[in-house]
A and B are shown apart, each in its own frame.
Chain A
Amino acid sequence: MQALHLLMGKILHSRKGRLRVWMGTLGLGIAALLLLIAVQMQSDFSELLEGKQNKETNTQYLVINRQLNNNNLNAGGLREDELAALKKLPEVSAVGIMQPGYFKASLSSTSDRFPFYTDVSFETVSSDFLDEIPEHWTWQEKDDYVPIIVPSLYLDLYNFQFALAQQLPQLTPEVVKMIFFNIRIQGPNGEVVLIGKVAGFSDRIQSMLVPQEFMQWCNARFAQGEKRNPSRILIKTKDATSPVLNQFLEKNQLQADKEKTRYSKYREIVNWIAGISGLSGLLMLVFAALVLSLFIQLNIVSKQDEIRLLIQLGASPQQMIGFLMKKFYPPNAFIVLIALGLVAILQYLLFGWLQKKTIGVSAWISPLTLLAALLLILLMGVVNRIAIGRSVKDNPTR
């Protein structure tokens, strides 16, 4: 067979159309490269969003509330259908209702030596959503004090603005946690004064938080008006920049922390670029396959007399197809392998570059990219086989 193929190679060897071969091969190579890069990009995105390496750093909490405008002031909080739809989004892994207190509250000093007074409002949320859970984060009527979580920002405002302006001493978090104060709760059914204490600080939630048990007790006794929908919620998401999530918020006139969702637009653009790259790769692949198919047929037509004579001398269609497949297919499959090798090198370089920015992607190409390359090689085989089979069939054997 080897000797026969050598002879057939010599018979069908042609210097003509070499440029066509190179153009077709280059087109195929670029198309395969674009397509494999698009597949690898999608794998990298998935890894960045869902990979173990990045999971912890990517999990984010967003406080969501209604966008207020002149038309929806006092229109109520988030409806149940909106909450249900939000829970169904794949980007949202948990939803926590932020329950506000429907009563008046104020804090005041327990000592005349350091007098202070401020009106406040409280909120509560499930402890699953807290960034730091204080040691004693619960409340019962018989307890000595009510624990409160305060935004870290409040302490910063006091220490770096208020204290400096008012000639007051700066306070460390530990000192603040030692101060007891009065909490006065007022409602239509009367009022109560309790002792409170700062139990912890939160970077995540910009609100004065109390244990859920305390909030239920207060609302049951001192709430004013009817029960309303929650005005704010907290969601846990692994992708705060998800275009799907942000489109949902926009559509429902909701808003979240803009700082955290700012990159959503960029993500959307990157997704578009990856999509366009994949689509152009696919289009180029179709064209390259077409060019290759035409090139193979042209090549065979230009050697029609030789092929006809070979058939007249007794070469079977299978022998011809076997030889022509051996002539055309391995270079095509090799091109796809070269494209795969280039993607592997690019991925390794990307890994090194992103590592310096503490972003973790794999150093190796994904199994999906390998599978795509394998499918491409198979596709090339099918295109080659069809083009060759058609050309041999078109050659008169009589």
Chain B
Amino acid sequence: MQIRLQQIIPIPLQEKQLAVDSDIWGNNRTFHSGEHIKITAASGRGKTTLAHFLIGLRTDYSGTLTVQEKNLANFSAAEMAIWRREQLGVVFQDLRLFPHLTIRENIDLKKFLAPRHIGENTVEWMAEQLGIADLLNTQAGICSYGEQQRAAIIRALAQPFAWLLLDEPFSHLDKKNRQQAISLIQSVITQRGAGLILLDLESDNHFSYHQSFQL
């Protein structure tokens, strides 16, 4: 499943002339199926904006963003729902968990939204891998940011996807937890042959990237 960015420039950021020295804004880029993409940017360069464009939450940009040669901005509500629940796993920068649901319910929601479920054992196994197995029945709202971030990662992995989009996914994790999360993500995307787009502040070598860009 190919993603193509053609001359994309966010309208609110046009005046800041961001396109002048960006590898993404105002350029033509193609992300091929199964590729690992790293996009690095300092604060305010539009990482989350780009993530929202890819998720389809915003369309306030010039240029064209296509998925499988189809303009994402023209997706119907039903097509958009399929894109989000079956083709694109997302870890939001602001996590976006339902605070009054338990960790397990937050994950199950994603699992039940898609027609093809992953097994309950898989969720338990992922939670064990990330050290939050004993928090599965705890309300998300009372967990720490680090715990919520790990829950958000599992939620993203609990759905079927061709691309996994991570927006500063390890910002609240210590080194050990970060490494565990990276291992889990790596094993799942390898198993599914899925692509990865990681948006972060700094460059890193968490994954072996096929393409790296400065935003």
**A→B interface (CB under 8 Å):** 3-4, 7, 10-11, 306, 309-319, 397-398
Most chain B beta carbons < 10 A, residue from A4, A11, A313, A318: A313
Bound form: Cα–Cα A315–B83 in Å = 10
Within 8 A of A (CB), among B81-104: 81-86, 96, 98, 100-101
Say yes or no: A11 contacts B85, CB within 8 Å: no
How distant is B211 from chain A, measured CB to nearest CB, in Å?
26
Bound form: Cα–Cα A309–B140 in Å = 15
How distant is B110 from chain A, measured CB to nearest CB, in Å?
6
Say yes or no: B108 contacts A309, CB within 8 Å: no
* 11 residue pairs bridging A and B, Cβ less than 8 Å apart: A4-B109, A7-B112, A10-B105, A11-B101, A311-B81, A313-B84, A313-B96, A313-B110, A314-B82, A317-B77, A398-B80
Say yes or no: B78 contacts A317, CB within 8 Å: yes
Say yes or no: A7 contacts B96, CB within 8 Å: no
**A315 to chain B: which residues have CB within 8 Å?**
81, 85, 113
Bound form: Cα–Cα A43–B127 in Å = 66
Bound form: Cα–Cα A3–B115 in Å = 12
Say yes or no: B58 contacts A398, CB within 8 Å: yes
Say yes or no: A314 contacts B113, CB within 8 Å: yes
Bound form: Cα–Cα A309–B86 in Å = 16
B57 at the interface (CB under 8 A from A): yes
Bound form: Cα–Cα A361–B194 in Å = 74
Q: 20 extra interchain contacts, Cβ-Cβ under 8 A, other than A312-B84, A318-B78?
A: A4-B112, A7-B112, A10-B100, A10-B105, A11-B98, A306-B98, A311-B81, A313-B85, A313-B110, A314-B81, A314-B82, A314-B84, A314-B85, A315-B81, A316-B81, A317-B78, A397-B56, A397-B80, A398-B58, A398-B59
Q: Using CB atoms, name the residue of chain A closest to B80.
A: A397
**B56 to chain A: which residues have CB within 8 Å?**
397-398
Interface string of B112-130 (1 = CB under 8 A from A): 1110000000000000000
Bound form: Cα–Cα A309–B90 in Å = 13
Secondary structure type dominating chain A contacts: helix
Say yes or no: B81 contacts A317, CB within 8 Å: yes
Bound form: Cα–Cα A241–B160 in Å = 75
* Contact A316 B78, CB 8 Å, known A3-B108, A4-B112: yes
Bound form: Cα–Cα A270–B86 in Å = 64
B40 at the interface (CB under 8 A from A): no
Most chain A beta carbons < 10 A, residue from B56, B57, B81: B81
**B57 to chain A: which residues have CB within 8 Å?**
312, 398
Say yes or no: B105 contacts A7, CB within 8 Å: yes
**A11 to chain B: which residues have CB within 8 Å?**
98, 100-101, 109
**B114 to chain A: which residues have CB within 8 Å?**
314
B149 at the interface (CB under 8 A from A): no
**A309 to chain B: which residues have CB within 8 Å?**
96, 98
How distant is A392 from chain B, measured CB to nearest CB, in Å?
9
**B77 to chain A: which residues have CB within 8 Å?**
316-317, 397
Bound form: Cα–Cα A259–B152 in Å = 86
Q: Which size class do B's interface residues fall under? A: 20 to 34
How distant is B208 from chain A, measured CB to nearest CB, in Å?
29
Say yes or no: B112 contacts A3, CB within 8 Å: yes
Say yes or no: B109 contacts A313, CB within 8 Å: yes
How distant is B70 from chain A, measured CB to nearest CB, in Å?
16
Q: Using CB atoms, name the residue of chain B closest to A314.
A: B85
Within 8 A of A (CB), among B49-87: 55-59, 77-78, 80-86
How distant is A34 from chain B, measured CB to nearest CB, in Å?
40
**B148 to chain A: which residues have CB within 8 Å?**
none
Say yes or no: A7 contacts B55, CB within 8 Å: no
* Contact A314 B98, CB 8 Å, known A4-B109, A398-B56, A398-B59: no
Say yes or no: B101 contacts A313, CB within 8 Å: no
Interface string of B139-171 (1 = CB under 8 A from A): 000000000000000000001000000000000
Bound form: Cα–Cα A331–B99 in Å = 28
How distant is A300 from chain B, measured CB to nearest CB, in Å?
16
Q: Using CB atoms, name the residue of chain B closest to A11.
A: B98
Bound form: Cα–Cα A311–B78 in Å = 10
Q: Using CB atoms, name the residue of chain B closest to A1.
A: B112
Say yes or no: B81 contacts A319, CB within 8 Å: yes
How distant is B113 from chain A, measured CB to nearest CB, in Å?
5
Bound form: Cα–Cα A3–B117 in Å = 12
**B85 to chain A: which residues have CB within 8 Å?**
313-316
Bound form: Cα–Cα A398–B79 in Å = 13
Q: Using CB atoms, name the residue of chain A closest to B88.
A: A314
**A313 to chain B: which residues have CB within 8 Å?**
84-85, 96, 109-110, 113
The 7 closest A-B pairs by CB, nearest first: A314-B85, A316-B81, A314-B84, A4-B112, A317-B77, A7-B109, A314-B113
Q: Using CB atoms, name the residue of chain A closest to B159.
A: A314
